[in-house]
Amino acid sequence: MPPVLQGIFTIIIGVGGCVAYFYFSNLVLDKVIFPARGPNAGRNINRANKVRPWLFLFPAMFALGLYLAYPVVGSFWRSLFDRSGNNFIGLGNYIDLFQGSTFRTAVFNNLMWVLVVPAMATFFGLLVAQLTDRLKWGNIAKSLIFMPMAISFVGASLIWRFVYAANPDIGIINALRDFFGLATLDPLQVRFWNNFFLMFILVWIQTGFAMVILSAALRGIPEETIEAAIIDGANPFQVFFQIKVPQIMGTIVVVWTTITILVLKVFDIVYTMTGGNFGTHILPSYMMTYMFRDDGRATAVAFVIMILVLPVMIWNIRQARAEMR
Amino acid sequence: MADLKLTDVEKAYGEVKVLSDINLDIKQGELIVFVGPSGCGKSTLLRMIAGLEKITGGELQIDGMVVNDIPPAQRGIAMVFQSYALYPHMTVRDNMAFALKLAGKSKSEIDEAVNRAANVLQLGPYLDRLPKALSGGQRQRVAIGRSIVRDPKVYLFDEPLSNLDAALRVATRIEIAKLKESMPNSTMVYVTHDQVEAMTLASRIVVLAGGGIAQVGSPLDLYERPNGEFVAQFIGSPAMNLLAGEVVGTGQQTTVKLAGGGTAKADIPTTDADMGLKVNLGVRPEDLVASDDEEFLYQGEVDLVEALGELTVLYFKPEAEGAAPVLAKLAGIHAELKGRNVKLKADPSKIHLFHNKVSLLYR
């Protein structure tokens, strides 16, 4: 069977299956299990109505359980075993992790990523959103800045490998150094600062996201409040920081936390740029170094990441909900 | 506390002129109301005075100083917006204090000014609330308070009551009237489309139409002596009836024979040269009374009756399909008149005559 037909067939079975599930399960509930007739008709209707929501929720809950809840529990369980997966070693993997210097570097680097990337992406996004707001060519500028969002992390990393290339004929940084008569160096091998060179790639990607959301939020501010502030004597900076920013604070928090969560998941950039060498590991890339070799270790790192993301995520969801109200 | 002078002010967006030849002299202590149909530029004119819109021609003076190119904050004006425009993230106190803080006033000065304004507007209990915890009327009071604390030379109001419900609108209107009374030296410019607000608040009304000023005058002046058909029909509700006719008698009083067969005398002097002049006779619905004698101004079949209790509005069947019906407002209840043929007359002092849309009084 050609793949196209296969695809169509799958879609038909999937969608048809869903429709059939809801239709027939409902039918069975009403006609067979709690039929609305006989001496207990009234009670049966009430019972059926109590069961119905769970019946309809079941597929979603089952899928979530299978693909979200089970992996969490399963990963945790796996992280308590050694490399082979046969010997239970308790928290041994975790203890080993915290004793290893690479893990500590990864945690420290990750902390820097979490502090720097969301802050810079949000700041630049806000700046661009505000600066392009009244420009005729603002939309063109915005689409250019948004474009990196469409590039995969690996693709972006490849682009930036050229920028950082240790060759004045390829890399712009070394071209500049060359212009000023400085020796060629590999930016990615400059300890400590190389982390920021990597972070900048993600900032470059995420600024577009922050800009789009914040631009919409800025447009949502009632024009009159800005005019009132102008009449009250506020200069453009005071209008921006004292009138506009406070009014979109909720959105800024949502953007900030959303990028934070993303930062805690990104491994591709480090993986493609340095492979975690020269002290650039972050938790997800560190996890990748163990994956398929020592799944006990890898799942332990994954679990640490999850615990770090959780509070940010809760905050993010709360803020987003508050925004919608 | 200042005079406001507009000389040949105009506003153009590119090639399109939306306002031109605006000449207006506003004296200290006046409350000037801009009225006009929507799109006539009344809000634009107010925003030009505020400095939110650029003045593209002419000159605006506040207190004898040309302020065309002076930013809003330094013009000595304060503005109250239709949507209140309160800063949602600041408490009532901070909203009112914002301008003073920006101006670098001391804390004690700010507190004093805010408390004074809060007392005048009875906002004391709400000073630490956010705007979202206030009702519409309270929000508008905060907006007014925000202008009071700045002690401006000129207050600008842009349809301040339009977002309030009917009952609150009346209450807030009275509050603004009282506020004006308590500050007799302050100059206010007020934009509204509500005639009642215009008639009750204004020292003078400026009727704007077609990109210019149609007429300026005290409320009753505009009501009693409109200079043209537009102002005549715009001021007063329901609008003035206009009936086509021809001058058949001149002198101290003018006699007009109407196309509908009626005749009317008007207390408007004319000369022999006006004999046979085609005119539109204007008479307000409230000035028409039922007539039993042979002489009548208008007669027609009552199409619709609106009995409001204290008065009854009669809608007469228009002569031609689609033409504006003649309306009459009679005192008392006359529900039985529906479908009947009624004759109407009016006192000669209540009759207006227009030729080419211009009042014969203003020739």
Q: Which two tokens stand for residue B55?
A: 């003045």
Query: For position B194, which CATH number holds?
Result: 3.40.50.300
The reply to whether B228 and B308 lie within a common domain is: no
Instruction: Write the single-letter amino acid at B361.
Output: L
- Quote the minimal CA–CA distance from B74 to chain A in Å: 8
The reply to whether B86 and B224 lie within a common domain is: yes
Query: For position B281, which CATH number holds?
Result: 2.40.50.140
The reply to whether B90 and B175 lie within a common domain is: yes
Per DSSP, B318 falls in state P
10 Å CB burial of residue B33 (0-12, 13-18, 19+) is buried
Query: A219 — phi, psi (to 5°)?
Result: -70, -25
Q: Of B223, B218, B277, B255, whose CA–CA distance to B27 is shortest?
A: B218
pLDDT at A8 over 80: yes
Expressed as residue numbers, the domain containing B143 is 4-234
Which residue among A225, A231, A238 places its CB closest to the CB of B72? A231
Question: Which residues contact residue B201 at a Cβ distance below 8 angstroms, ignoring those fewer than 6 apart?
Answer: B31, B33, B173, B176, B177, B180, B190
What span, in angstroms and rounded, lies between the C-alpha atoms of A161 and A188?
Answer: 9
* pLDDT tens track for B220-259: 999 999 999 999 999 988 899 999 999 998 888 999 999 8
The reply to whether B51 and B194 lie within a common domain is: yes
Q: Which two tokens stand for residue B236?
A: 């007063």
Question: Which residues contact residue B183 at a Cβ distance below 8 angstroms, ignoring those fewer than 6 apart?
Answer: none
What span, in angstroms and rounded, lies between the C-alpha atoms of B325 and B191?
Answer: 30
Hey, which bits of chain A come out as E strands?
none
* pLDDT tens track for A300-320: 999 999 988 888 889 888 888
**Inter-chain touch B103–A233, beta carbons under 8 Å:** yes
For the CA atoms of B41, B44, B46, B51, the dihedral, rounded to the nearest 10 degrees, stands at -160
- Quote the minimal CA–CA distance from B45 to chain A in Å: 15
The reply to whether B112 and B221 lie within a common domain is: yes
Q: Is A243 on the interface with B (CB under 8 A)?
A: yes
Residue bearing tokens 């030296």: B185
Q: Is A231 on the interface with B (CB under 8 A)?
A: yes
What span, in angstroms and rounded, lies between the C-alpha atoms of B83 and B232?
Answer: 31
The reply to whether B191 and B275 lie within a common domain is: no
- Chain B residue numbers with beta carbons less than 8 Å from the beta carbon of A231 are 50-52, 72-73, 77-79, 99
Q: In what order do the strands lie in the sheet with B65-66?
A: B16-26, B4-13, B57-62, B65-66
- Chain B residue numbers with beta carbons less than 8 Å from the beta carbon of A225 are 85-88
The reply to whether B229 and B282 lie within a common domain is: no
* pLDDT tens track for B9-26: 999 998 888 998 999 999
Which residue among B85, B98, B99 places its CB closest to the CB of A227? B85
User: What would the mean pLDDT of A196-214 be, rounded to a whole number?
Assistant: 94
- Chain B residue numbers with beta carbons less than 8 Å from the beta carbon of A230 are 52, 71-73
Evaluate whether B231 touches B252 at the Cβ level (below 8 Å).
Answer: no
The reply to whether B229 and B246 lie within a common domain is: no
Distances (CA, A) of A133 to A212, A214, A216, B112: 11, 11, 10, 39
A37-41, A151-155, A239-243, B166-170: lowest mean pLDDT where? Answer: A37-41
The reply to whether B154 and B249 lie within a common domain is: no
Task: Give me the half-sphere count of Cα atoms (radius 13 Å) on the Cβ side of residue B194.
Answer: 17
Evaluate whether B60 touches B5 at the Cβ level (below 8 Å).
Answer: yes
- Chain B residue numbers with beta carbons less than 8 Å from the beta carbon of A243 are 87
**Inter-chain touch A234–B150, beta carbons under 8 Å:** no
Q: Is B87 on the interface with A (CB under 8 A)?
A: yes
Q: What percent of chain B has pLDDT over 70?
A: 100
What span, in angstroms and rounded, lies between the C-alpha atoms of A171 and A148?
Answer: 19
Which residue among A233, A247, A249 places its CB closest to the CB of B102? A233
Instruction: Write the single-letter amino acid at A224.
Output: E
What span, in angstroms and rounded, lies between the C-alpha atoms of B342 and A62?
Answer: 80
Task: Give me the half-sphere count of Cα atoms (radius 13 Å) on the Cβ side of residue B151.
Answer: 8
Nearest residue on chain A to B74, judged by CA atoms?
A: A233
The reply to whether B51 and B199 lie within a common domain is: yes
Q: Is B89 on the interface with A (CB under 8 A)?
A: yes
Which residue among B71, B89, B102 places its CB closest to the CB of A246? B89
Query: In total, how many domains does chain B have?
Result: 2
Identify the three-state secondary structure at position A46. Answer: helix
Identify the three-state secondary structure at position A220. Answer: coil
The reply to whether B149 and B291 lie within a common domain is: no
Neighbours of B242 (CB within 10 A): 19
**Please, what is the Cα angle at A189 between A185 and A192, to 5 degrees?**
120
Evaluate whether B22 touches B9 at the Cβ level (below 8 Å).
Answer: yes
Per DSSP, A147 falls in state G
**Inter-chain touch A238–B79, beta carbons under 8 Å:** no
Q: What percent of chain A has pLDDT over 70?
A: 100
pLDDT value for A57: 93
Q: Is A249 on the interface with B (CB under 8 A)?
A: yes
Evaluate whether B190 touches B197 at the Cβ level (below 8 Å).
Answer: yes
Nearest residue on chain B to A235, judged by CA atoms?
A: B102
* pLDDT tens track for B98-126: 999 999 999 999 999 999 989 888 888 99
Evaluate whether B154 touches B62 at the Cβ level (below 8 Å).
Answer: yes
pLDDT value for A209: 94
Domain termination residue (choose one: B199, B234, B269)? B234
Strands B241-249 and B327-331: unpaired
pLDDT value for A84: 85
Evaluate whether B283 touches B241 at the Cβ level (below 8 Å).
Answer: yes
Distances (CA, A) of A93 to A90, A107, A290, A308: 8, 16, 12, 18
pLDDT value for B179: 87
Strands B278-283 and B352-355: antiparallel
Which residue among A222, A224, A230 places its CB closest to the CB of B72? A230
* pLDDT tens track for A77-129: 999 998 888 889 989 899 988 998 889 999 999 999 999 999 999 999 999 99
- Chain B residue numbers with beta carbons less than 8 Å from the beta carbon of A239 are none
pLDDT at B1 over 70: no
pLDDT value for A41: 83
**Inter-chain touch B89–A234, beta carbons under 8 Å:** no
**Inter-chain touch A224–B78, beta carbons under 8 Å:** no
- Quote the minimal CA–CA distance from A226 to chain B in Å: 8
User: What would the mean pLDDT of A264-276 be, rounded to a whole number?
Assistant: 88
Region of B352 (left: φ > 0; alpha: ψ -120 to 50; beta: rest) is beta
The reply to whether B294 and B346 lie within a common domain is: yes
ipTM of the complex: 0.82
Q: Of A241, A210, A197, whose CA–CA distance to A124 is shortest?
A: A210
pLDDT at A323 over 80: no
Nearest residue on chain B to A247, judged by CA atoms?
A: B89
Domain termination residue (choose one: B215, B234, B253)? B234
Per DSSP, B180 falls in state H
- Chain A residue numbers with beta carbons less than 8 Å from the beta carbon of B79 are 227-228, 231
Per DSSP, B130 falls in state -
HEC sequence for chain A? CCHHHHHHHHHHHHHHHHHHHHHHHHHHHHHHHCCCCCCCHHHHHHHHHHHHHHHHHHHHHHHHHHHHHHHHHHHHHHCCECCCCCCECCCHHHHHHHHCHHHHHHHHHHHHHHHHHHHHHHHHHHHHHHHHCCCCCHHHHHHHHHHHHHCCHHHHHHHHHHHCCCCCCCCHHHHHHHHCCCCCCCHHHCCCHHHHHHHHHHHHHHHHHHHHHHHHHHHCCCHHHHHHHHHCCCCHHHHHHHHHHHHCHHHHHHHHHHHHHHHCCCCHHHHHHCCCCCCCCCHHHHHHHHCCCCHHHHHHHHHHHHHHHHHHHHHHHHHHHHHHC
* pLDDT tens track for B318-331: 877 778 889 999 98
Does the domain formed by A93-324 have CATH 1.10.3720.10?
yes
Mean pLDDT, all residues of chain B: 90
* pLDDT tens track for B149-187: 988 989 999 999 888 888 888 888 888 898 888 888 889
Domain termination residue (choose one: B204, B234, B264)? B234
Angle of helix B136-148 relative to helix B92-102, nearest 10 degrees?
Answer: 20
